[in-house]
Structure 1
């Protein structure tokens, strides 16, 4: 039986070319050969390429030598994803997909297969938020004693420097008061965080699309960009999920406030810290989107930030 061809999904090609330089094209060119190498090394049989797949990763549905299903993920090398394998190893299947093998030097991981076409986005928002928080609580554990993960403080410090530069973009001229507020609020949050003793392993990119249905557990998280810090930072990305639905709802400003209040109460976090981190993360995402030419998402992010 002829093995399926390894084709690179259009979304992955478009994203890598848009977000990266010439190195991204070189990675895309080498990707089929890299996939073939790990299929052979880990004794895998290819079933099919996931379409549309990840934005910056190639995902192949495979069978292991014993016939069990798995997923081979090959991710574009970027700093935020460098410790994904370490987080998955530490969680060891508790709230997230299990990792069977990894080759961090190539961004390659052999993972438990989840139902890629059934995420929390398939549920009504209220039910999705409830399930999302339940799964996220399982991920909030103490990191290993000698861990490799970046702290929220260090990561946000770098984001603040980039946001300060992007503030001067011509397209951001009218947004500077909002950007300045996000910078001021984040500075205060970082200063105050030195007095807090909440150092938990965070997912870092937690939203409904990164929580998939699975056989071993109703829902499992995928694609972490792990950090160590406070829960409110992790919740902030969940707080701005489904912005297109929120923007089209009656009274979106009141709906945004209610969403944050419910999340803060359900997770037992300080509502002002959740609001502050949500404001910062959403403004940062909005200006990043502007910078890469994604005006649709930039508009959604920045409209939501203004509601806060």
Structure 2
């Protein structure tokens, strides 16, 4: 019936200590390990949004952004083509965190690291992992070897979580372009520039 009581799970966290406080390479792998523990099989009759639905909504806004801005059009085209290809043959679906990044991983008592602030979505794990690839994007852009560091990151994350490297690259491209176009739309020009430059490396 409709009178079932919900259960609220509270945990002690250390909000001032995120995985971002670790050195870059270690932070990335710790965050990836935390993400792996989160992924579960979605319940049979779930009501969660799917990756196809969420990215479909985003694709509409991206097309509008490309129409208004010739500069981003080639990247948007590449991102939308990657999405089509990725959705054509999706691998096993999982219930994903949805907005995962290093700052969402906080020090906990029960386990060393716990993830917070999910926006659940059902789809392939490479979609969740893709957001992690561009963590600290401002640092990546600032270093001369940013592009090769990004490619190494994709390789390392894909291998550590047994995710297909090309699929991870495709979703990383899509998510970076989507965020870049969105940042530009709301006038966050600096963020847009960083994200679109990063996307250009993929």
TM bucket by the smaller chain? over 0.9
**Cα distance in 2 for residues equivalent to 1:265 and 1:166:** 34
Say how many residue pairs are matched.
Answer: 197
Residues 18-64 of structure 1 deviation map (CA, whole Å, 9 limit, x = unaligned): xxxxxxxxxxxxxxxxxxxxxxxxxxxxxxxxxxxxxxxxxxxxxxx
1:212 Cα deviation (Å)? Answer: 0.3
| Structure 1 length-normalised TM | 0.62
Q: Work out whether 1:164 is the aligned partner of 2:58.
A: no
> Would the aligned equivalents of 2:29 and 2:157 in 1 still touch at CA under 8 Å?
no
**What's 1:276 paired with?**
170
| Whole-angstrom distance in 2 between the partners of 1:255 and 1:137 | 22
**2:54 maps to which residue?**
155
In structure 1, the partner of 2:40 is 141
Q: Does 1:219 align with 2:118?
A: no
Please, what TM-score do these two structures have when normalized by structure 2?
A: 0.93
Q: Relative to total residues, which structure has the larger strand share, 1 or 2?
A: 1
Cα drift, residue 247 of structure 1: 1.2
Specify the alignment match of 1:116 in structure 2: 15
In structure 2, which of residues 79, 83, 101 is the aligned counterpart of residue 207 of structure 1?
101
What does residue 31 of structure 2 align with?
Answer: 132
Higher relative contact order (CA 8 A, sep 6+): 2
Structure 2 SS opposite 1:206: coil
What is the rounded CA distance, in whole Å, between the counterparts of 2:16 and 2:62 in structure 1? 34
**Cα separation, 2, equivalents of 1:136 and 1:279:** 20
Corresponding residue to 1:305 among 186, 191, 199: 199
- Pick aligned residue for 1:192 from 78, 81, 89: 89
Task: Output the CA distance in 1 between the equivalents of 2:46 and 2:84.
Answer: 25
SS at match of 1:250: coil
**1:48-63 superposed matches below 5 A:** none
* 1:225-304 to 2 correspondences below 5 Å: 225-304=119-198
Q: Is the 8 A contact 2:48 2:122 kept in 1?
A: yes
1:245 deviation in Å? 1.2
Superposed CA offset, 1:209-259 (max 9, x none): 000011121110000011111110011001111111111223111111111
Q: Give distance in 2, aligned partners of 1:163 and 1:114.
A: 37
Q: Which has the larger radius of gyration?
A: 1
Q: How big is the alpha-carbon RMSD for the aligned residues of Structure 1 and Structure 2?
A: 1.5
- Unaligned stretches of 5+ residues in structure 1: 1-88, 93-98, 101-110
Aligned twin of 1:49: none
**Alpha-carbon distance between aligned partners in 1 of 2:65 and 2:17, rounded to the nearest angstrom:** 36
- Find the aligned partners of 1:145 and 1:184 in 2 and give their Cα distance: 30
